Amino acid sequence: MRQFKSQAEAEAAGVHVSKVKSFVKREGRLTKAQTRAIEEFWPTMGIDYQDAELDLSVLFGRTAPVVIEIGFGMGKSLVEMAAAAPEKNFIGIEVHRPGVGACLAEAGEQGLTNLRVMDHDAVEVLKNMIPDGGLSRLQLFFPDPWHKKRHHKRRIVQPEFAALVLTKLQKGGCFHMATDWEPYAEHMAEVMNSTSGYANTAQEGTYVPRPEYRPITKFETRGQKLGHGVWDLIYERAQ
């Protein structure tokens, strides 16, 4: 097979080259309960991807601050946050289908009306579906740190992503990140500090104490017992 020096050269030759995404698609095996939850609740709580901007007020049937969480896992913490803040609207984005099913099952059982979920690449969702200045907060909790140096380019927190998030936050809106991998926390801070338009909300140093609105997970509790740290970073859109 012919080797190309660049993606542009390959595309010019009519060869499709897949782009590196900020996640690894993991279908997983859906349980019967997760399948039922998707079938039952997706029509009212799911958002299908489309290359068109959402009207967030129409989506939720009201005007309220909108919080997006990228990579909500099995959704337990996201559901807990949405239940604890009924005055806010929440959108969760997750590419792991069992997680989507579990989140819908939990949210449906609690009868939440202020939560919507998506199963799509978060970068494309932000670029094409979220209006500029539409978010009060964007949450990115414990993303894949891609430990190996050669994989660092796969980390979602990069200058281009930070700049994209800035455009989607309203003035005073926050980008909240959390990680249990200190080198990634340092990378996050480096990226955010070099992106104009943000102000670090930390009173001292770089990191902030875990805000009350972010639930502590079983995974996080177990890590703390083993002496593992967790680093929260909250940057505000300053202009």
Name 108's bridge partners: none
pLDDT digits (tens, 9 = 90+) for 163-187: 999 999 999 999 999 999 999 999 9
**pLDDT over 80 at 72, yes or no:** yes
Q: What mean pLDDT do residues 202-228 have?
A: 89
**pLDDT over 60 at 238, yes or no:** yes
- For position 12, what pLDDT does the model report? 47
pLDDT digits (tens, 9 = 90+) for 87-141: 999 999 999 999 999 999 999 999 999 999 999 999 999 999 999 999 999 999 9
DSSP string, 46-92: B----SS---HHHHHTS---EEEEE--TTSHHHHHHHHH-TTSEEEE
Q: For 81-95, 148-162, 168-182, 213-227, which range has the lowest pLDDT when averaged over its residues?
A: 213-227
Our answer to whether residue 144 is catalytic in this structure is yes
As a whole number, the mean pLDDT across the chain is: 90
**pLDDT over 90 at 239, yes or no:** no
**pLDDT over 80 at 86, yes or no:** yes
pLDDT digits (tens, 9 = 90+) for 15-41: 444 444 444 445 578 999 999 999 999
- For position 37, what pLDDT does the model report? 97
- For position 4, what pLDDT does the model report? 40
- For position 174, what pLDDT does the model report? 98
DSSP string, 179-204: ES-HHHHHHHHHHHHTSTTEEE--SS
Write out the H or E segment, with its range, that includes residue 221: helix 218-225
Q: What mean pLDDT do residues 204-224 have?
A: 90
- For position 6, what pLDDT does the model report? 39
DSSP string, 136-179: EEEEEES-----SGGGGGG-S--HHHHHHHHHHEEEEEEEEEEE
- For the full predicted model, state whether its pTM sits above 0.85: yes
Instruction: From the candidates 48, 132, 144, 180, give the one annotated as an active-site residue.
Output: 144
Contact present, 64 and 89 (Cβ < 8 Å): yes
Contact present, 223 and 180 (Cβ < 8 Å): yes
